[in-house]
């Protein structure tokens, strides 16, 4: 099969990435919608929903093991034209869902009160009880949340990134309608927000399952050549490093709040607002990563190792977004903070932080996008180790440079991300320029 040109790789990445981008933004919007309506009921309610959203972000990292693992294995089988491999990837994803869901849904429900007190403190006023009420609905609802993630992973592996986008928009549209009805109209408060979220996702899941039944790729699947336990183990091996990478990065972001708190309260508020403002850029980086993983896995399955070419295309696309974000933040930082309702010291600190973030964002864009090539080719364990070391280095540098204020935090983040980019680039240079892969197997670097 002839080699593919750079323009074709870029076109394939953009085609796969832009629906993922809107899907990721829609996922972020769900938490914002809940916060907007709950904010009308008081600070305790806001604190309860904010904590619940953070817990859900951690749980997302858990189920990414199934969703991401299924995507890569299915894309590889699809590229190889292997109907049995398609079935094996789907079976492994659902088997892992069946294994994880009872632990999280049932265990989380039973531990909802201690979890709320742990997150909000025993002296958190009414917030722990409110969070417990939210958890009593949301944690059993993780069965729906996890299933939706697996459905998304299967569809993406089959080359369909548009349907997951539509499902996310459908779920959020329903949440937007149900939130005011349940939170305010029915007087359910925080519980209403949880019910609206689970209900919106449940309807979207139903449509997703219908889409799976209609998928031509899945209808053509043959019997798996392996046992169910073997399919499960393959999914875990493939998806676990990706899950670990996400959880470590999320944990590092939470720990960084404690470092920023050493500077001042206004800086903590500015950091929190700026982090939300950056979602527009960072979600674009992650959408390119997912696209690169799918594209790389499909090419390897077809017996074509074009990882270097895909990597260059991914860095080019994501890096361009990073540069655009840098210019936008420098020009519009004060207006961005004003749009989030910040004023006074918080607005000044936030604008300074956003204007200093540019170099970090460009480096992050390159690191995240190039990581997709490693995820799609079996190099996720290397990527997870680099991320883990990078997070530790970032926290240490941020602590050491926090005396410089928020610019010092930005400098530390840029230095740590630059080190991660250098480590990943070293692995990337070991990849051969182009070669045939006779059996469509996964190639590892290092």
CB contact at 8 A, 133 and 190:
yes
- pLDDT at residue 446, as a whole number: 40
CA dist 257 and 253 (Å) reads 7
Mean pLDDT of 163-181: 91
- 431 vs 89: which has the higher pLDDT: 89
Quote the percentage of the chain above a pLDDT of 90: 45
- 153 vs 127: which has the higher pLDDT: 153
- pLDDT at residue 144, as a whole number: 94
Beta bridge partners of 435: 305
- Would you list the DSSP string of 276-328? HHTHHHHHHHHHHHHHHHHHHHHHHHTTEE-HHHHHHHHHHHHHHHHHHHHHH
SS3 436: strand
pLDDT band for position 435 (50/70/90)?
low
- pLDDT at residue 302, as a whole number: 87
259-283 pLDDT tens trace: 887 888 778 778 877 877 788 888 8
pLDDT band for position 439 (50/70/90)?
very low
pLDDT band for position 438 (50/70/90)?
very low
Average pLDDT value over all residues in the chain: 86
Residues 121-127: contacts with CB within 8 Å, 24+ apart? 124/47, 125/44, 126/44, 127/44, 127/45, 127/47, 127/48, 127/51
Burial of 343 (0-12, 13-18, 19+ CB in 10 A): exposed
Query: What does residue 436 show for φ and ψ, rounded to 5 degrees?
Result: -85, 145
Which conformational region is residue 189 in: left (phi greater than 0), alpha (psi within -120 to 50 degrees), or beta? left
In this predicted structure, the answer to whether residue 127 has a pLDDT above a threshold of 80 is no
CA dist 367 and 311 (Å) reads 10
In this predicted structure, the answer to whether residue 196 has a pLDDT above a threshold of 70 is yes
24-36 pLDDT tens trace: 888 777 777 776 7
If we measure between CA atoms, which residue out of 323, 322, 260, 324 comes closest to residue 286? 322
Query: What does residue 435 show for φ and ψ, rounded to 5 degrees?
Result: -155, 165
- pLDDT at residue 120, as a whole number: 66
Residues 62-65: contacts with CB within 8 Å, 24+ apart? 62/100, 62/104, 62/243, 62/247, 63/97, 63/100, 63/145, 63/146, 63/149, 63/150, 63/243, 64/149, 64/239, 64/242, 64/243, 64/246, 65/96, 65/100, 65/235, 65/236, 65/239, 65/240, 65/242, 65/243
- pLDDT at residue 57, as a whole number: 74
CA dist 401 and 378 (Å) reads 36
- Would you list the DSSP string of 152-197? HHHHHHTT--HHHHHHHHHHHHHHHHHHIIIIIIS--HHHHHHHHH
Quote the percentage of the chain above a pLDDT of 70: 92
Mean pLDDT of 196-214: 93
Q: Residue 394's Cα: distance from chain center in Å?
A: 20
- pLDDT at residue 253, as a whole number: 79
- 127 vs 408: which has the higher pLDDT: 408
- pLDDT at residue 5, as a whole number: 66
Which conformational region is residue 405 in: left (phi greater than 0), alpha (psi within -120 to 50 degrees), or beta? left
pTM of the model: 0.85
CA dist 365 and 362 (Å) reads 5
Mean pLDDT of 299-311: 90
Mean pLDDT of 219-230: 85
Strands (DSSP E) along 98-140, which ranges?
none
CB contact at 8 A, 82 and 51:
no
- pLDDT at residue 188, as a whole number: 85
- pLDDT at residue 122, as a whole number: 60
37-94 pLDDT tens trace: 776 776 677 777 777 777 777 788 888 889 999 999 999 999 888 999 999 999 999 9
Helices (H) and strands (E) in the chain, counts: 17, 2
373-428 pLDDT tens trace: 999 998 888 888 999 999 999 999 999 998 899 899 999 999 999 999 999 999 99
CA dist 159 and 74 (Å) reads 9
Helix or strand holding residue 435 (H, E): strand 435-436
Mean pLDDT of 155-182: 91
């Amino acid at each position: 099969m002839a080699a593919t040109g750079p323009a074709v790789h870029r076109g394939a990445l953009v085609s796969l990435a832009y629906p993922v981008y809107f899907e990721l933004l829609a996922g972020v919007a769900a938490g914002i919608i809940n916060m907007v309506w709950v904010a009308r009921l008081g600070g305790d309610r806001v604190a309860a929903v904010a904590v619940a959203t953070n817990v859900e972000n951690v749980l997302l990292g858990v189920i990414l093991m199934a969703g991401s693992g299924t995507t890569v294995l299915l894309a590889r089988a699809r590229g190889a034209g292997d109907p049995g491999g398609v079935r094996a990837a789907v079976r492994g994803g659902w088997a892992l869902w069946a294994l994880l869901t009872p632990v999280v849904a049932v265990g989380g429900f039973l531990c909802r009160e201690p979890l709320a007190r742990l997150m909000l403190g025993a002296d958190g006023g009414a917030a722990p009880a409110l969070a417990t009420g939210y958890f009593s609905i949301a944690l059993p609802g993780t069965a729906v949340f996890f299933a939706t993630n697996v459905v998304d992973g299967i569809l993406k592996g089959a080359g369909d990134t548009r349907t997951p986008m539509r499902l996310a928009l459908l779920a959020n549209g329903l949440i937007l309608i149900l939130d005011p009805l349940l939170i305010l109209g029915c007087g359910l408060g925080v519980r209403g927000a949880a019910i609206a979220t689970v209900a919106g996702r449940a309807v979207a899941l139903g449509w997703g399952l219908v889409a799976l039944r209609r998928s031509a790729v899945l209808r053509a699947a043959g019997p798996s050549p392996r046992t169910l336990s073997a399919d499960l183990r393959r999914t875990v091996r493939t998806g676990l490093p990706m899950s670990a990478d996400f959880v470590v990065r999320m944990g590092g972001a939470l720990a960084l709040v404690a470092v920023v708190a050493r500077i001042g309260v206004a800086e903590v508020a500015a950091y929190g607002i700026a982090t939300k403002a950056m979602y527009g850029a960072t979600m674009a980086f992650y959408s390119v990563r997912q696209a690169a993983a799918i594209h790389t896995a499909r090419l390897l399955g077809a017996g074509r190792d074009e990882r270097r070419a895909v990597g260059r295309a991914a860095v080019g696309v994501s890096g361009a977004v990073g540069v655009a974000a840098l210019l936008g933040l420098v020009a519009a930082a004060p207006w961005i903070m004003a749009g989030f309702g910040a004023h006074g010291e918080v607005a000044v600190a936030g604008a300074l932080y956003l204007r200093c973030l540019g170099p970090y964002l460009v480096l992050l864009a390159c690191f995240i996008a190039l990581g997709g090539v490693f995820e799609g080719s079996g190099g996720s364990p290397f990527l997870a180790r680099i991320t883990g070391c990078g997070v530790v280095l970032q926290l240490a540098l941020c602590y050491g440079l926090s005396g410089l204020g928020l610019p010092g935090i930005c400098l530390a983040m840029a230095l740590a991300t630059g080190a991660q980019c250098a480590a990943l680039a070293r692995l990337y240079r070991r990849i051969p320029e182009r070669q045939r892969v006779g059996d469509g197997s996964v190639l590892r670097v290092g």
